[in-house]
Amino acid sequence: AQTLDFQKTAYGKDEKLTSYEDVTSYNNYYEFGTGKEDPAREAVLFKPTPWTIKIEGAVKQNKTISIEQLMKLAPLEERIYRMRCVEGWSMVIPWVGLPLKALVDWAQPTGNAKYIEFVSYNDPRHMPGARIPVLDWPYLEGLRMDEAMQPLTLLAVGLYGKVLPNQNGAPVRLVVPWKYGFKGAKAISTIRFVEQMPRTSWMKASAREYGFYANVNPAVDHPRWTQSSEKRIGAGVFAGRIKTKMFNGYDEVGQLYAGMDLQKNF
């Protein structure tokens, strides 16, 4: 894969990275199949270039941005983030990307923009999983405006210093490290600024299980999976579990939710 020019940062510099092999072979990307190994196999022929993202909704004017333009909005940075999946496993991934804030500023949202919707690319001809209605396609995710502007929130275009592999959401995906992994919309094709809280694909699938906020929270249990602890991918058969931290250990985001009942707004 093509290597990227980027600056190193202090984020997660003491973390032990999950191997490139594991990061790129164990994926949840239902457009390419529901098995963890499906995306790496089924996304081989997917073409993430050329690519443009539509910017629409509560903005000064609707416009589009190419992936090349996007990558010039801000210097690319490497950020090592922990990624906690709602299924109870986690990884440490060296993403390369730029703060989402850079794109939001460029998009010039109006005062009506309270939330952002991220619409993932959906093409049943090239995405075998998208032919099956396991989720309400296209995959839709969302953030509140202040969450989107939080400096941790990243638009990733690469990992391990190289262009994002298809199975990880090429050419551009969202990374919100204090939220469960499913918030990270892959292969983003439309970014829509809206006034109402979006109904995401997972909320439509089961609102009882998947909330809009989806903040990593060991105190709020999931109907299926234990959320108080997690398995670190690559740690080996006998490694056991590690305790999950509130906001996945990114305490600085706590102020975004001051005064909110996080049991109710899960």
Give contact residues for another protein (rule: CB under 8 A).
21-22, 25-26, 30, 34, 36-37, 87, 89, 132, 134-135, 205, 221, 223-226, 228-229, 231, 233-234, 236-238, 240-241
Q: How many CB atoms lie within 10 A of CB 180?
A: 23
Least gap, CB of 178 to another protein (angstroms): 22
The number of helices, as runs of H, and strands, as runs of E, in the chain is 6, 12
Least gap, CB of 68 to another protein (angstroms): 32
Task: Specify whether the CB–CB gap between 101 and 151 falls below 8 A.
Answer: yes
Dihedral sign of CA atoms 214, 219, 223, 225 in order: positive
Least gap, CB of 235 to another protein (angstroms): 9
Comparing CB distances to another protein, the nearer of 89 and 247 is 89
Dihedral sign of CA atoms 187, 192, 197, 200 in order: negative
Query: Which amino acid, 213?
Result: Y
Comparing CB distances to another protein, the nearer of 89 and 212 is 89
Comparing CB distances to another protein, the nearer of 56 and 230 is 230
Least gap, CB of 241 to another protein (angstroms): 7
Query: Tokens 């990227």 sit at which residue?
Result: 4
Comparing CB distances to another protein, the nearer of 32 and 115 is 32
Least gap, CB of 22 to another protein (angstroms): 4
Comparing CB distances to another protein, the nearer of 89 and 115 is 89
Rounded Cα distance between 56 and 204, Å, is: 22
Comparing CB distances to another protein, the nearer of 77 and 87 is 87
Report the first-to-last Cα separation within the chain, whole angstroms.
Answer: 38
Distance set, CA 102 to CA 145, 173, 224 (Å): 13, 14, 37
Least gap, CB of 136 to another protein (angstroms): 11
Rounded Cα distance between 13 and 96, Å, is: 14
